[in-house]
Structure 1
Amino acid sequence: MSATPVLALRGVSKRFGAVQALTDVELEIHPGEVVALVGDNGAGKSTLVKTIAGVSPADEGTIEWEGRPVRVARPHDAQELGIATVYQDLALCDNLDVVGNLFLGGELFKRGVLDEVEMERRARELLSTLSIRIPSVRIPVASLSGGQRQTVAIARSLLGEPKVVVLDEPTAALGVEQTAQVLDLVERLRERGLGVILISHNMAEVREVSDRVAVLRLGRNNGTFTVADTTQEEIVSAITGATDNVVTRREARTTEVNQ
């Protein structure tokens, strides 16, 4: 792992009127690393994602890119640096095929005419590189499964060759097999040397694919944990702010029943 993080947040704060959404948040993402960002509803995860993506610029603090301070005041700034964000709604057009969605807004032209052949070639190449399996790049996105749609959205974010990919709840509402497809893709992003920020409420998934877990609580850092050296109970305690909570009590009861 590189000693210098590709993306770092230093003392980032964000306020909306009288509401302090983020306070002195610190976060580092290294190349080839998956960092899960977790916390209860209202912990500040969505605000932090929007700050990184340039949708809601930070009021205070510094964002560093490959060791140097940068200004991320709008989405274009983040994209130019190499930050790609895939939101929960995916922003796919159901009536367009896979190629059309991958190149939406970034279509290729040859002599002033849409270059369908080259876009299809690049689409096939990208999906093959990521081991994404779909019936055809020419079928409407509406006919794909939830997992396939999610992988198409992630693949689209890679066309700009980003160095950091932010995935906002990528497995929400997916079935077991579809979730596995997405988690496999997250691991392939890591293998390609990308830094990945994974927002999730599913602790099993977090522990399965993440290298580190960063916990937000009430808009502040409440611990960063190395997955290999941390129990799920420790992470849950950091999320809830208490060692004795309904999650840990339920796990204790389940353990007793199974013994």
Structure 2
Amino acid sequence: MSPVPDCGEESYRGSGRLAGKATVVTGGDSGIGRAVAIAFAREGADVLISYLDEHEDARDTARLVEEAGRRAVLVPGDLSEADHCRAVVGKAVEAFGRIDVLVSNAAFQMTRDALEDIPDDEWDYTFKTNIYAMFHLCKAALPHMPEGGSIIGSTSVNSDAPPPKLLAYNCTKAAIANFAGSLAQLVGPRGIRVNSVAPGPIWTPLIPSTMPPDDVEQFGSGTPLGRPGQPAELAPVYVMLAADEASYVSGARIAVTGGQPIL
């Protein structure tokens, strides 16, 4: 990609806010997930990096986690499959003994000009990857999450201001926000917090791989800040929601949109 997304490789500095925590980050090979994995490690957490099949990117993220002095566990596979979601959780429990923080971030999108252009299997795959996976991951992880645990979902500004050509993706992101709000109430009595982060236009590999070139050229220019965000600009929000200092933050949805309000 040109320019290469900034995932905080050179800029993020930790301060021990997640010391000793066992964490799972899906979609951790690139983009927002990579930035979160780097930040978590530099804050003192071990990280299981779930990813599809981008092995070189995932190994590079793992290298950065290990250079921060933390343990990295790589688990490739398709999160649209319920059994793989359960396997991811199983690998984390096997490696760490528990799960303190689960970040459900992996996503799929595809631009389509008309509803009739969306193949049935693409609609199903978008939902299975984006929201079904969060359900299966959370269901499997909760028995292994101690009091003080944190679940974070990646939603989107698109759920509130849906661009028509990303119809399937928009619907899943609205579902993630609602799922997080509902689950926060279900698991609050267990001392587990659930929140979501709503990014605006963030410069990740998902953008040029799923959007027409003209849309990529203008990507992010319509925000009040006039540019797309970088993955590194989201990582501190995930750190905050994962940290013990946010012990009374649950059921929240935090916008990182370059100035486009979500009220």
Give the TM-score range, shorter chain. Answer: 0.3 to 0.5
Higher helix share: 2
- Compare CA radii of gyration and give the structure with the larger one: 1
- Highest RCO, 1 vs 2 (Cα 8 Å, sep ≥ 6): 1
Whose strand proportion is higher, 1 or 2? 1
TM-score by length of 1: 0.34
